[in-house]
Structure 1
Amino acid sequence: MPRRTPRNALDRVRTSRRLSGFLKTASICVLTAGLLSPITQTPAAAGTAAAVDHCGGRCSDILPPGENGNATLAQILLNQAFGTQPAHAEDQLGPYADLATGYPGLTDATLNTFFTDASFGVPPDQVASTEKPAGRGDVTIVRDKKTGVPHITGTTRYGTEFGAGYAAGEDRLWLMDVFRHVGRGRLTGFAGGAPANQGLEQQFYRNAPYTEADLQAQIDRAVAGSGARGQQALADVKAYLDGINAYIDASDSGRYFPGEYVLTGHKDSITNAGTIEHFKVSDLVALASVIGSLFGSGGGGEVTNALSLMAAQSRYGVEEGTRVWESFRERNDPEAVLTVHDGQSFPYASKPADARGGALPDAGSVTEEPLVYDRTGSAGGAGARKASTAAARATLGSARRGMSNALVVSGEHTASGHPVAVFGPQTGYFAPQLLMLQEIQGPGISARGASFAGLSMYVELGRGQDYSWSATTSGQDIIDTYAVELCQDDHHYLYHGTCTAMEQVEQKNAWKPTVADGTAAGSYTMRVWRTKYGPVAYRATVGGKKVAYTTLRSSYLHEADSIIGFQMLNDPDFVKGPEDFRSAAQHINYTFNWFYADSRHTAYYNSGDNPVRASGVDAEFPVWGQAAYEWRNWDPATNTADYTPASAHPNSVDQDYYVSWNNKQAEDYTTASWGDGSVHRGNLLDDRVRKLVAAGGVTRAQLVRAMAEGGLADLRAEDVLPKLLKVIGSAPVTDPTAAAAVDKLQAWVTAGARRTQTSAGSKTYANADAIRILDAWWPLLVKAEFEPGLGGDLYDAFTAGLPVDETPSAGHGPTGSHAGSSFQYGWWSYVDKDIRAVLGEPVRGGLARTYCGGGSLGSCRDVLISTLKQAAGTTAAQVYPGDDQCSAGDQWCADSIVQRTLGGIKHGRIGWQNRPTYQQVVEFTSHR
C-alpha cells in the first residue's frame, strides 16, 4: 500500500481557515522546502531475508535529518505552524548532533547511540511496513521502524530497479523534480523567481548549458561505449524511471503527492487539477550534471590565477614576482599532509620547466561574460542579481565546498585484525538531504548505503556483502581555460585558422507569483556562447588582441559516463577485492578520492578523467586556443582526449592508514586548490590517526572519536596559535589587555583548542572568550602581517584566490553561514610558515619572503600584540553580528548548523561539527 496522508488530516487542512491563512504567508522558496509523504503501509509479518552479510553487526551509518523527504500539504502547514515533524523526517538529526558532546565516552557497544545499524535486511520485530509497489510480484519494499529506510528486494532485475525508483519517488520526489529543472536551467519557471532560485539555476547553467540533444547524446555515448554493461545500465535506468512514474501516478490519484506542488501552483489542493510530469532518461542526465558540477569537477581558476600572478609581477618584477606567486600557490609543498604517504610519487599538472602557449590578459581588460539578458519584473536590477548569487552560495555553496573525510586503518593496526573505516561525503545540510539511504538486493545488485536523489538506481556510497566504499572530493585540475582569438565580431573566433561562429544557447524563463516564494512575476533569458573549447566565461585582450576565455572540462558532455563504475560497485560478482574496486572506480570520471575496506584489505584510488596536456602547457594559467596547446588527441565533437592511465592516478593498497579531508593526494600530484601547505585541516585527522596506529589495537570507537575530536577542533588554535603565542611570549607582555587575552588563548590551547559546549545542550562554549578573541583576531593579524609587504593590490588578488578565513561563523567565507564545513580555505599555512621563519625555525617550502614585521621578531611581536589588543576589545555582537537565524552576539548560534530548506519542512539548528553529512563506520569480520 502506498504511503499516504490519513484522510482526516487532509480534511482538516481543507476546512481550517487558520491554516489556509498561514498558507498565504508561508515562505517556502524551493530552496526553502522539505519533503515527505506520510504514510500508512501494511506491516509485514516477518522481516526481509537478508543477503549474505559479512559485517557481523559492525557496520553503521547516519544521514541527517532523516530518510523521509516528501511531505504532503497538510504536513508542511502543520510543520510551519506548530513545528510538528512527519515520521522519519528528522529522526537521524538528534543522534548525529549528539556525537559532538557524547564522543568522549564512546565505546564500540554504544556506537549505535549515534549511528544506525547498517546490516543487511530488517529483523521481523523491526519491520514498520511492507509493500509491493504498483502491485508487482517481483519486488518488495520493506521499511524499518527506527529510520524508515527502504529495503528493496527483487526477484528480477527489472523489478529491483522498479522498486528503487518507486522508493525514490516516495522519499524525494519534489527534490528530484527541483534538480532536474536546475540541471536544465529552468528552476524559476518551475518553482518561482525567488533570488535563491535564480542564483541556483544561473550557477549551473553557466557551467553546463546543455540542450536536449546534448543530454540525449550523453546517454547514447555512455551506452554505446560500454558494451553489455552499458545496455544493462540503460535497462536499469528505464526500469527505475518506470518506478518513479508509477509512484507519481499513484500519489496523484491518491492525492498524497508532495505539498510543494500545491504551494508552487502545479497542483490544486481542492480539485487536484494540474500535473506532475513523468521523468525521462534525459532528466537523470540533467540531475547528474548538477551533481558532477557540485562535487566532481576540480579546476577552472586560471583567469583568477593569471590576475594574481600579474599583480605579483607588477609589485616585484617578473622574476621575483613569479617566485612570490609560486610560494603562495604551494603547488607541491613538501610539508603538506598526504593521503598516500608511503613515498610514491604521482606527477600531474606540475609546473613545466619551460611554459608554452600562455595567454595572460592585458592589465585591466578582463570582464566576466554576462549570463542574464532581458530581465523583467520586480525581481530585476543589480540588487536582485547580488541577492540571487548570495542565496545560491548560501544554499549549495556548502555542498560545493564540502568537508568530506575518510579515516581508514589497516588490519595490521586494529584490535580485531580487520580493517576499520570511518568515512563519508559532505553534501551539505539540507531538508530534505540531497542523499537518500536505501538497501537494494536483486540479481546482480547487493548493496546498502546512500545515493543522490534521482540517481539511486545504484548505491553510490555504501557497503556490499563483504566490502565498503566511500569518497571525498579530490579537486585535481580537469578544467582548462583557453583564449580564443576573436575575428569578424565578438561572436566569431579563430579555430585552427578558420573564422568560426560561436553557438548561442539560450534558456528563457518566466515565473508567476507563487505562495512559495512571495515574489512578483518576472522573466529573463540566460544566454551562453559556446565554442569548440567550451563555453565562454570571460572577455579580455591579450597583447592587444580581443579574446574570449573559454572553460573546457574533461567531464563536460560526459556526466552520464560514471554510471558504469557505480553499477560495478554494486555488483557482488564483480567486486571481490581491492583490485576490482579500483577497476570500478576507474570508470568514474568525477574527481573523487575513493576508499575501500573489507575484512582483509584497504585501498585508495583517485578517479577522474585527467587530460594529457600538450608539452609545456602550464595548467595554472590560460593558454591559446590553438592546436599546439590542446589536450592530446582531443576530439571537439565528443570532447574526448587522451587521459592519464590508472597507474598514474594516486592509488594504494594496504597502506598503514589513509586520511582524507580534501587535502593533497600524493607527492607531486597538483590539485587545483590553493593552501595545500603545512597547515591543512587534513592534519587534524592525520595527527590523531597516526598516534592511534603507533599505539596499535585501533577500534571502531577510537577511530570515531578521532574523527569527532578533529571535527570540533579549531585548526588555527591547534596548529598555528601556539606559534603566534611563542612570538608574543618572546618578551614579557606588559600590556594588561594583551596579557589577559594571551592567558585566555593559552588556556584554550591547553584544554585542547576545540569549540565545545560546556555541557550537552548548554549552547554555550567552554573558553568562549578565547574563541571570540581568535575569531576577531585572525583576519586582523593576517592583514597586518601580510599586506604591508605584499601591498594592497597583491594582497587583494591573493585573497580573491584564497580567503583568509573560514571559521564556522564566517558568513563571508566560501561556504556561507551555518554550513558546518570550516577551515578548508584559509591562510593557515602562510601564517604558519611565516611565523616559523620569524622564529628562526626550519621551514621546508617556505614563502619567498618573510612578512611579519619585515622579518624582525620584535617588529612581528608588535604587530601581533597590536592586533590582539584590537581583537580583545571587539564585542561578541561585533564578531557575531546576527542574521536571520541568530541574535547578535550569540556565539553558539552563529556557529550552528542549519538544515537549509529545499522543500516545505523545516528543522531546528544543531551545534557545530566539522564532519561529513553521510557517514559510515565499518569493520567486516569475514570475506567470501
Structure 2
Amino acid sequence: MFRTARTRATAALLAAVTAVAPVVASPAEAATTDYCGNQCHDILPPGENGNATLAEILANKLFGTKPAHASDQLGPYAALPNDYRSITDATIDEYFNSSAFGVPPDQLQSTIRPRSDVSIVRDKATGVPHVYGTTRSGTEFGAGYAAAQDRLWLMDLFRHVGRGQLTSFAGGAEGNRELEQTFWAAAPYTEQDLQSQVDRIAASGAAGSQALADITAYLDGLNTYIRQAKAGRYFPGEYVLTGHVDAITNAGTIQPFVATDLIAIAGVVGALFGTGGGGEVQSALVKQAAQAKYGPALGEQVWQSFREQNDPEATLTLHDGQSFPYAASPANPEGVALPDPASVRPQQEVYDPTGSAASAAPASADVAVPPALAPAKGMFDKGVLPGLSGKHGMSNALVVSGRYTDDGHPIAVFGPQTGYFAPQLLMLQELQGPGISARGVSFAGTNFYVQLGRGQDYAWSATSASQDVTDTFALQLCAPDGSAPGPDSTYYLDNGQCVPMEPLEVRNSWQPTVADTTAAGSYRLVVYRTRYGLVQYRATIGGLPVAYAAQRSTYRHEADSIVGFQRFNDPAQMRTAAQFQAAAAQINYTFNWFYVNATETAYYNSGWNPVRPSTVDPNLPVVGEPRYEWRNWDPATNTSDRTGDAEHPQSVNQDYYVSWNNKQARDYTSAAFGEASVHRADLLDTRLSALVASGTPVSRADVVRAMEDAAVTDLRGEEVLPTLLKVIDSAPVTDPAQAAAVAELRTWLSHGAKRVETAPGSKTYADADAIKVMDAWWPLLVQAEFRPGMGEELFTALAGALQINESPSNGQNGPVGGGGSANEAAPHRGSAFQHGWWSYVDKDLRAVLGEPVAGGLAQPYCGGGALAACRTALLTSLAQAAAEPATSVYPTDGTCAAGQQWCADSIVQRPMGGITHDPISWQNRPTYQQVVQFAGGR
C-alpha cells in the first residue's frame, strides 16, 4: 500500500515539474569557479529531506523506514565522538560532506526545471538542492521552490509560531502552548507591524529594492510548489494528520505564503538567536538581596563580584589586548528602579482558558482513528516544537591564521548550534545566479539567501553574541479617572499623562485531531506594549504599583538585516576581510561573525547597540522618563542612536580565534552573568592555542580533533575538578566511601574528564561511575559551598539570574528553592555547560586555598573561608552524591528509563513532524558545521 502511494506521489511530482519544462540531463549551469580544491566540507543532521507524504509517515511508524535523504547525515555526524582521535585530512569526508560547488556527473540524482530560467539539481549523496538560475529572479524562484520541497510543513509551523497561533494550526498540546506563549511574549506583532517591515525593506535603497524583488520571486517559487503538490497529492502528510486536508477527498487548503509570513518567521529567529540583555530585573533582585544581607556598600561589592561584567580572567575572542568599551556600570548610576522586596511577579499572558487550556497539563481525549492512521495517533501529543523555548547555547568557531597552517592558508571549523530537530530548522542549499554564488544553510522560510556558508573563495559563520541590546524601564501605573491604580492597571504615566497600554492579542482554539489528541480548548494571549516596550513584570516601588517593560533595539526591525545577508551571497562584495566586516555591520542581530579566505581571517561583532546616557546602568532597570531614554530615541519607529561600526569588537588576522558564546573583548560588557574564569570556551582556547604554539603546522584534521575533543569533555571535570581535589587533598580522606568516590573522580580526570562510550555503539560510558558522581555532586556542592554563607534570599536570587548547572542530561535541577530552570528541564539537546556557577566555585575555592584570584568574589563562602571547614562541606556533599542511585540522577524523561546514563545524555532529533530518528551519543557541537581551507582565490 505504502509503496504504491509513494510511487503515485513521485509520478505526480515528476509530472508537475515536467509540465513546466523538460528534465535536464546535466547541470550545465554548474560551471562556477570553486577555489576550495576539495578542502571544503559541511554537515547538517539528520538529513536534507524534511518533507514526508502521509504514506511515508505511516511507513515510518509501522516499519521504521524513512524517506530518501531524511537521515543520511545523521550517521556520519554521530560517528565523530568515537573516531575523532584518528581522523586525518584524508578521512574528513567520512564524517562531513563535500561542500564543493556543483554536482559531479556521476553524483547526479535529479534535475528539474520548475521554470524556464532555473534548474534545481540534487546530488545522490545528500539530496541537497543546487539551484542554478540564468536570471536572478529564476534563482530566487528556485530557492523558494526547493524550500517548499524540503521544509514546507516546518515553514508553515513557524509562520504560525511567529503570530502566536501554533495551537490553532497544529493542536493544543502542551509543547505547542508553551512555544506560542514564549514567542508571543518576546515578539508580538500586528499584521501592520509585519507589513511595515516589508515596506521598510522596499524603501531602503537599491539593495532593499533588490531584496524585495528577491523575496517576491522566492514566494512565487514556494507557492508554485504548494499548488502543484496539493493538486498532485504529494504535500507533507502532517496536513492530513492535523486536519487541514482530507486524506480521501483532498479537500482543504494549504495557505499560500506572503511576505509578512517571512517577517513572522524572521521574528522567531531573531527572538531565539539574535538578541541579548533584558535580565535587568533579575540582576536587581540579586543586588537587592546582597544589600539586604551585607548592607549597601558591601552588598554593592558582592553584587558586582557576582555580576563579573569585565572579569580579568575571562577567555576572550580578541586576545591581543584590544578594548571595546560598552555597557559598563557607571560609578554613580541615576534613575535606578529597584523593586520593593518580594513584589515582583510576571505579567499575565494567558486569559480566559477553557477546556484543555485550563489544565496544567493537556487533557487526553480519544477520537475516532481510521485503522490506517492509527500508528500516527499521538505523534504530536507533546507538541510539534518541544525544547525550543529555553535558553540555547548556540554555536562555536575555531579559526587559525594561515601563518600557522600546513599549506599557508587559513583554516576554519565553525557553525551554529541551533538545536536538534527532525527536520532541522536550517536547510542546506547552493544558490548560483546573477549576483549570487553561495552554498550553506539558512533558516527555512528565510532561505532566499545563504545565511551561513561559503562562497567561491571565502566562508563565513556566526555564534550568538548576546550583548546587551535590551533595557528594562519601570513605568508608574495610573488610572484614567485619577483614582489610585490597581496592580494590574493597563494605564501608565508617560510624561505626566495617563496613557493606555496597547494590548497585542491573539485568540487560539483547538479540537482533537488524529495527530494531537489533546482535548478541545481555547484561550487568549495578550501582551501589553508601551512606549518603552513590552510589559514583562509587575511590582511595586516605594509601595506604588509599576510595570517593568523591556525595550529591544531590534524589535520591529528583524528584517532590516536582509541587506547584510544579501552582501554575504555576492562574491563581488566579499573579496576581502574589510568587505566582510562591512557586510556584517549591516546585520542588527547580536552575532559574532567569522570569515576566512585564502589569505585572511577576520572577526566582527554585529548588533544594534543603543547609545545610553552615561549615567544609566545597563545592568539594572531604570525609571521610564525621557532623561534615561536611549539617545535620540523615536518610540514611533523604535530607532535611536547606535554605537558606530568601529566601536564593535573586530579584528583581522589574529593568530587564532575561538568563540563559544564567550566574552568578545576586554571592556565589552556581556548582558549575562557568568562570563569569567571558567567558561566552556576555555575548552576550545586551550586546545587551539596549544596547536598554534606547538611550532608544528596545523591541519584541518588537527582543528577538527580540537573541536571534537572539547565537544566530549565535561567542563566541570576539566576546569573545576582539579581545584576541588586540591581542597580535598589538603588532608587525608579517611572515610572509605568518600575515598572511593575521590579515587573514581581522579581516574576520570586522568582520562581527560570525557563523556565517551567504551566502544562505538556500547551505550555505556567509560568512567561511568565517576560521571554519575559528578552529575549528582555539582548541585549539591554548590549548595554546600554557597547557601550557608549567602542565606536563602541571596542564593535564590542569584540562582534566578544564573542557573547553577547545565549538564548534558539536564536531569539535575539543583537544590529546592533555587537553581532549577526551564533550561535544565530540556534534555537531549546536545548543548551543555553554557550556563552555570563554574566561575563562582572556581574563584571561591582558589581563594580558600590562598591562591591569587584576579577579580575574586567580594566575600568568602566555602566553609566561611576556612580550608578545613570547606573541605568538610565538599566531602559531605560528595558522600551524599556518591550514595545517590542512578535512577534519581537520571530520571525517566519519556525517551529513557530511569537510570540510563548514556540515554539521558543522548541527543534526540526532536520531531517537528511525522518522521522520527534514534538517539545518538552526546557531543557538545554545532548542529551545522563547516570545515574549510581555501587553496586559492580570485
TM-score (normalised: structure 1): 0.95
**Residue of structure 2 in register with 1:463 after alignment:** 454
Question: How has the CA–CA distance of structure 1 residues 877 and 839 changed in structure 2, closer, same or farther, with 3 Å as cutoff?
Answer: same
**Residue of structure 1 in register with 2:356 after alignment:** 378
Q: Once the 2 structures are TM-superposed, how far is the Cα of residue 545 of structure 1 from its aligned partner?
A: 2.2
Q: Once the 2 structures are TM-superposed, how far is the Cα of residue 207 of structure 1 from its aligned partner?
A: 1.2
**Residue of structure 2 in register with 1:686 after alignment:** 685
Contact 1:199 1:392 in 2 (8 A): no
**Residue of structure 1 in register with 2:668 after alignment:** 669
Where 1:615 maps in the other structure, the secondary structure is coil
Is 1:45 the counterpart of 2:44? The answer is no
**Residue of structure 2 in register with 1:277 after alignment:** 255
Q: Once the 2 structures are TM-superposed, how far is the Cα of residue 7 of structure 1 from its aligned partner?
A: 4.3
1:681-711 Cα distance to aligned partner (Å, 9 max, x none) = 0000000000000014111000000000000
Aligned partner letter, 1:727: V
Q: Once the 2 structures are TM-superposed, how far is the Cα of residue 396 of structure 1 from its aligned partner?
A: 0.4
Paired residues for 1:476-555 under 5 Å: 476-488=467-479, 489=485, 490-555=489-554
What is the distance in 2 between the residues matched to 1:123 and 1:75?
29
Is 1:705 the counterpart of 2:696? The answer is no
Paired residues for 1:4-15 under 5 Å: 7-9=4-6
Structure 1's consecutive aligned runs of 4 or more residues displaced over 6 angstroms after TM superposition are 10-13, 36-43, 388-393
Indicate the larger mover: 832-841 or 447-456: 832-841
What is the distance in 2 between the residues matched to 1:165 and 1:393?
23
User: Which among 381, 387, 390 is matched to residue 395 of structure 1?
Assistant: 387
Contact 2:385 2:911 in 1 (8 A): no
Contact 1:251 1:257 in 2 (8 A): yes
What is the distance in 2 between the residues matched to 1:520 and 1:37?
40
Where 2:731 maps in the other structure, the secondary structure is coil
User: Which among 313, 336, 348 is matched to residue 314 of structure 2?
Assistant: 336
Q: Once the 2 structures are TM-superposed, how far is the Cα of residue 442 of structure 1 from its aligned partner?
A: 0.1
1:121-151 Cα distance to aligned partner (Å, 9 max, x none) = 0000000000001xx2110000000000000
**Residue of structure 2 in register with 1:595 after alignment:** 594
Question: How has the CA–CA distance of structure 1 residues 391 and 323 changed in structure 2, closer, same or farther, with 3 Å as cutoff?
Answer: farther
Contact 2:422 2:913 in 1 (8 A): yes
Q: Once the 2 structures are TM-superposed, how far is the Cα of residue 615 of structure 1 from its aligned partner?
A: 1.9
Contact 2:564 2:584 in 1 (8 A): yes
**Residue of structure 2 in register with 1:232 after alignment:** 210
Q: Once the 2 structures are TM-superposed, how far is the Cα of residue 12 of structure 1 from its aligned partner?
A: 12
User: Which among 235, 238, 247 is matched to residue 225 of structure 2?
Assistant: 247
Paired residues for 1:519-918 under 5 Å: 519-696=518-695, 697-811=697-811, 812=813, 814=823, 816-918=826-928
What is the distance in 1 between the residues matched to 2:396 and 2:630?
32
What is the distance in 2 between the residues matched to 1:204 and 1:392?
15
Aligned partner letter, 2:790: L
Is 1:108 the counterpart of 2:78? The answer is no
1:303-355 Cα distance to aligned partner (Å, 9 max, x none) = 11111211111111111111111111110100000001110101111010110
Question: How has the CA–CA distance of structure 1 residues 810 and 8 changed in structure 2, closer, same or farther, with 3 Å as cutoff?
Answer: closer
Q: Once the 2 structures are TM-superposed, how far is the Cα of residue 43 of structure 1 from its aligned partner?
A: 7.6
Contact 2:9 2:233 in 1 (8 A): no
Q: Once the 2 structures are TM-superposed, how far is the Cα of residue 807 of structure 1 from its aligned partner?
A: 0.6
Contact 2:385 2:912 in 1 (8 A): no
Contact 1:298 1:475 in 2 (8 A): yes
Aligned partner letter, 1:83: G
Is 1:325 the counterpart of 2:303? The answer is yes
Question: How has the CA–CA distance of structure 1 residues 389 and 525 changed in structure 2, closer, same or farther, with 3 Å as cutoff?
Answer: farther
Indicate the larger mover: 880-889 or 699-708: 880-889
**Residue of structure 2 in register with 1:156 after alignment:** 135
What is the distance in 2 between the residues matched to 1:549 and 1:390?
32
Aligned partner letter, 2:855: G
What is the distance in 1 between the residues matched to 2:167 and 2:459?
39
Unpaired runs of at least 5, structure 2:
364-379, 480-484, 814-820
**Residue of structure 1 in register with 2:445 after alignment:** 454
Q: Once the 2 structures are TM-superposed, how far is the Cα of residue 740 of structure 1 from its aligned partner?
A: 1.1
What is the distance in 2 between the residues matched to 1:286 and 1:498?
33
Backbone CA RMSD of aligned residues: 1.9
Q: Once the 2 structures are TM-superposed, how far is the Cα of residue 46 of structure 1 from its aligned partner?
A: 3.0
Q: Once the 2 structures are TM-superposed, how far is the Cα of residue 407 of structure 1 from its aligned partner?
A: 0.2
What is the distance in 2 between the residues matched to 1:883 and 1:688?
34
Q: Once the 2 structures are TM-superposed, how far is the Cα of residue 393 of structure 1 from its aligned partner?
A: 9.2
Unpaired runs of at least 5, structure 1:
14-35
Percent identity, aligned pairs only? 62
**Residue of structure 2 in register with 1:18 after alignment:** none
**Residue of structure 1 in register with 2:409 after alignment:** 418
Where 1:395 maps in the other structure, the secondary structure is coil
Question: How has the CA–CA distance of structure 1 residues 390 and 258 changed in structure 2, closer, same or farther, with 3 Å as cutoff?
Answer: closer
Contact 2:36 2:936 in 1 (8 A): yes
Q: Once the 2 structures are TM-superposed, how far is the Cα of residue 573 of structure 1 from its aligned partner?
A: 1.2
Is 1:293 the counterpart of 2:271? The answer is yes
Question: How has the CA–CA distance of structure 1 residues 569 and 864 changed in structure 2, closer, same or farther, with 3 Å as cutoff?
Answer: same
What is the distance in 2 between the residues matched to 1:128 and 1:664?
45
Q: Once the 2 structures are TM-superposed, how far is the Cα of residue 6 of structure 1 from its aligned partner?
A: 6.3
What is the distance in 1 between the residues matched to 2:107 and 2:222?
26
Contact 2:609 2:643 in 1 (8 A): yes
What is the distance in 2 between the residues matched to 1:492 and 1:755?
54
Question: How has the CA–CA distance of structure 1 residues 282 and 93 changed in structure 2, closer, same or farther, with 3 Å as cutoff?
Answer: same
Question: How has the CA–CA distance of structure 1 residues 221 and 537 changed in structure 2, closer, same or farther, with 3 Å as cutoff?
Answer: same
1:698-749 Cα distance to aligned partner (Å, 9 max, x none) = 1100000000000000001001101111111111111111111111111111
**Residue of structure 2 in register with 1:26 after alignment:** none
What is the distance in 1 between the residues matched to 2:122 and 2:325?
48
Question: How has the CA–CA distance of structure 1 residues 72 and 554 changed in structure 2, closer, same or farther, with 3 Å as cutoff?
Answer: same
Contact 1:50 1:122 in 2 (8 A): no
Aligned partner letter, 1:904: G
Question: How has the CA–CA distance of structure 1 residues 38 and 306 changed in structure 2, closer, same or farther, with 3 Å as cutoff?
Answer: farther
Aligned partner letter, 1:403: M
Contact 2:166 2:180 in 1 (8 A): yes
**Residue of structure 1 in register with 2:367 after alignment:** none
1:194-219 Cα distance to aligned partner (Å, 9 max, x none) = 11111111111111110000000111
Where 1:573 maps in the other structure, the secondary structure is helix
What is the distance in 1 between the residues matched to 2:6 and 2:141?
30
Q: Once the 2 structures are TM-superposed, how far is the Cα of residue 794 of structure 1 from its aligned partner?
A: 0.8
1:730-780 Cα distance to aligned partner (Å, 9 max, x none) = 111111111111111111111111101111111111011110111111111
What is the distance in 1 between the residues matched to 2:509 and 2:891?
36
Paired residues for 1:22-171 under 5 Å: 45-48=25-28, 49-133=30-114, 136-171=115-150
TM-score (normalised: structure 2): 0.94
Question: How has the CA–CA distance of structure 1 residues 37 and 798 changed in structure 2, closer, same or farther, with 3 Å as cutoff?
Answer: farther
1:92-139 Cα distance to aligned partner (Å, 9 max, x none) = 000000001010100000001000000000000000000001xx2110
In the alignment of these two chains, the number of paired residues is 896
Aligned partner letter, 2:25: A
Q: Once the 2 structures are TM-superposed, how far is the Cα of residue 491 of structure 1 from its aligned partner?
A: 1.7
Q: Once the 2 structures are TM-superposed, how far is the Cα of residue 51 of structure 1 from its aligned partner?
A: 1.0
Q: Once the 2 structures are TM-superposed, how far is the Cα of residue 503 of structure 1 from its aligned partner?
A: 1.2
Q: Once the 2 structures are TM-superposed, how far is the Cα of residue 544 of structure 1 from its aligned partner?
A: 2.3
Contact 1:38 1:71 in 2 (8 A): no
Where 2:246 maps in the other structure, the secondary structure is coil
**Residue of structure 2 in register with 1:194 after alignment:** 173
Q: Once the 2 structures are TM-superposed, how far is the Cα of residue 801 of structure 1 from its aligned partner?
A: 1.1
